[in-house]
């Protein structure tokens, strides 16, 4: 395991921009970001376009109605578990 952080962004739609502003101050390129719940609707925020990969669970991606960015990766629950296990720190932002 490495010292990279996993950020789980699980905030409601209106709170997500301020949560992403906090994340932008904490984020480093080796970190991982997963959008969950209503926060996926904010996937086009400028900060998220600079992140290498933004992960979204398959069930949460359903509300995007096919919209996606080049750096978005839709993942299964099994892949989510693998990502969680590959990090030493998991931080939930809501």
CATH of the domain at 43: 3.40.1260.10
Dihedral angle sign, alpha carbons of residues 46, 52, 56, 61? positive
Q: How does the average pLDDT of the chain come out, rounded?
A: 93
Q: Give the pLDDT confidence of 30-55 residue by residue, as tens digits.
A: 999 999 999 999 999 999 999 999 99
Return the SS3 of 49: helix
Domain that holds residue 7: 2-93
Full strand arrangement of the beta sheet holding 54-57: 72-75, 54-57, 32-35, 2-9, 87-93
Give the span between the Cα atoms of 5 and 2, in whole angstroms: 9
Q: Is the pLDDT of residue 69 over 90?
A: no
Indicate whether 3 pLDDT > 80: no
Task: Please state the domain count of the chain.
Answer: 1
- Tens digits of per-residue pLDDT, 17-34? 999 999 999 999 999 999
Give dist(CA 20, CA 25) in Å, integer.
9
């Amino acid at each position: 395991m490495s010292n990279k952080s996993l950020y789980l962004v699980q905030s409601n739609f209106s709170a997500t921009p301020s949560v992403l502003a906090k994340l932008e101050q904490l984020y480093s390129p080796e970190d991982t970001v997963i959008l969950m719940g209503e926060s996926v609707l904010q996937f086009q925020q400028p900060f998220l376009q600079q992140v290498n990969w933004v992960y979204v669970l398959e069930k949460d991606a359903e509300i995007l109605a096919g919209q996606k960015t080049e750096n978005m990766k839709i993942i299964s629950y099994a892949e989510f578990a693998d990502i969680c296990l590959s990090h030493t720190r998991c931080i939930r932002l809501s």
